[in-house]
Structure 1
């Protein structure tokens, strides 16, 4: 069950009647964790692959849960005071050498021993999840969740420095539908506003499609989505005095480099980041 992306956090009545549950959105590997008694735990990725061999501490913790318990969760890594998504791609040995902690943050309960609970409302599944994990120590723990929108926004801002991406907002009465969430689950990802250097434009000189930008940390990105007609006209007017002859870029194809960089304001969202053009800077 996957949430749809939205550009604003919905109000308490924004996903239909019954209220909204707001959860922290964490940066990790989504997995469904199956406790299977005497058999090894199974950590099913979104592609169906078993992640257990790559994350033995998490698999061992799930194996200690009652047989038949099934959790929908995010497998996360923590290093130096913040969530560290990139550590999940490293080998077990490399993570151990860098003092990386792993966690399984459960946000839904799909089954209890002998009982499929997916048809129950989310509020009931949340209550059962908290009861099931009440005496379970880390690395397994329930996600922070609230029905108070203001509290959720305060959490998101306060925990941004630790790598919290945003919020997942769910209709409190929603059942768990494996084939899709529709609009009863949505995700809001906070955007960071940054300035960057415009190194080139794509498309035609008179009607640029996108900007090739360089961030302060040296990363080079192509803005998306395509510039609006008004944005394209303003960029073309500003870039015209600085356009060099067209060149072939191995990543972006035909580009029009600038002999002197312009500065642009962007919003960065997601992982890897998507750079969305906001405006050219007057300075």
Structure 2
């Protein structure tokens, strides 16, 4: 079988800008938006080639070798030459909800735990024909939609809506299964993977990504991390990291730690150079705590 695709890896992915409030239009002129659910997983563009699938991350790395069962399933389902999509994401489904931390486990542990990997796609970027590249057409064009339905091999597409209130209702009702929020895309705009993109993302909670500046406690099992917030204040996360969180932090900082220092409160602190990103939840009020959520993988 000949291997042909109008689009080859690598491609630069869309990077929606974070917003505090979900907009009702893409611009002051009232250009419409399409709303879709924001999943909790790894972003990846799926390139279906002959006998294999490339899962390209935001940093252009092929994640397929790390997730062989998912790649194999996509190879069986997608027609060669199909590319899915600038907002594609694969997630781990475990015990009735999306569990991001399961993506950080090994394939063997996921299988033993009964975890299912799923690839969530909202659009088709290319199909196997010379005219099959749909990246330059608007998201709502018939060409972009029809390529997905007729040539991909995918039978089910994720639901989307152009109604802001409906999108909020759906997203808020699905927080219990791990839905993070909403991605809003300008319907009249083509794919444009730069800061001028007409895509934004809204999350349910006030979570932000911050570089870890230090760890508190033993290097093998840290009790907390230190991050800097928007106002320049440095915060020690609270409550204490649980065992999986502590292990993940310890695994993310080898080779980046400075010498141990003791604070005036008696805490043992190690500075972290060029630390990994951590997702933290900012509480409200003067005495609010900053809670560690997870290590934010650079490809996530």
Give me the TM-score of the superposition, normalised by structure 1: 0.69
- 1:56 is aligned to 68
Contact 1:129–1:142 (Cα < 8 Å) also in 2: no
1:214 to partner: Cα distance: 2.0
1:36 to partner: Cα distance: 1.1
Equivalent residue in structure 1 for 2:282, among 270, 276, 279: 276
CA-to-partner distance for each residue in 1:118-142, whole Å, 9 max, x for gaps?
A: 11110126623651488635xxx53
1:35 to partner: Cα distance: 0.9
Contact 2:15–2:197 (Cα < 8 Å) also in 1: no
Contact 1:122–1:172 (Cα < 8 Å) also in 2: yes
RMSD: 3.3
Partner Cα separation in structure 1 for residue 147 and residue 166 of structure 2: 21
Larger radius of gyration: 1
Equivalent residue in structure 2 for 1:89, among 93, 97, 104: 104
- 1:24 is aligned to 37
1:248 to partner: Cα distance: 5.7
- 1:189 is aligned to 203
Equivalent residue in structure 1 for 2:133, among 102, 109, 116: 116
Contact 1:12–1:147 (Cα < 8 Å) also in 2: no
Report the structure, 1 or 2, having the larger strand content.
Answer: 1
1:48 to partner: Cα distance: 1.8
Equivalent residue in structure 2 for 1:76, among 91, 105, 130: 91
Mark the CA change 1:79 to 1:120 in structure 2 (over 3 Å): closer, same or farther. Answer: same
1:173 to partner: Cα distance: 1.0
Mark the CA change 1:245 to 1:90 in structure 2 (over 3 Å): closer, same or farther. Answer: closer
1:18 to partner: Cα distance: 3.4
Contact 1:22–1:152 (Cα < 8 Å) also in 2: yes
CA-to-partner distance for each residue in 1:10-67, whole Å, 9 max, x for gaps?
A: 0145475431000100111111111112x31111112222222222232123223222
CA-to-partner distance for each residue in 1:244-269, whole Å, 9 max, x for gaps?
A: 9555641479xxxxxxxxxxxxxxxx
- 1:46 is aligned to 58
Partner Cα separation in structure 1 for residue 136 and residue 26 of structure 2: 21
Verify: 1:168 aligned to 2:186, yes or no.
Answer: no
Contact 1:133–1:142 (Cα < 8 Å) also in 2: no
Verify: 1:5 aligned to 2:18, yes or no.
Answer: yes
Aligned to 1:174, the other structure's residue is in SS state coil
Mark the CA change 1:167 to 1:68 in structure 2 (over 3 Å): closer, same or farther. Answer: same
Equivalent residue in structure 1 for 2:269, among 250, 254, 262: 250
Mind listing any 5+ residue stretches in structure 2 that lack a counterpart? Answer: 1-13, 208-225, 227-231, 246-262, 289-300
Partner Cα separation in structure 1 for residue 264 and residue 153 of structure 2: 67
Aligned to 1:177, the other structure's residue is in SS state coil
Deviates more, 1:105-114 or 1:70-79: 105-114
- Equivalent residues in 2 for 1:79-228, closer than 5 Å: 79-114=94-129, 115-124=132-141, 127-128=145-146, 130-132=148-150, 136=154, 141-178=156-193, 180-191=194-205, 209-215=233-239
Give me the TM-score of the superposition, normalised by structure 2: 0.66
1:170 to partner: Cα distance: 0.6
Partner Cα separation in structure 1 for residue 177 and residue 171 of structure 2: 10
Contact 2:172–2:204 (Cα < 8 Å) also in 1: no
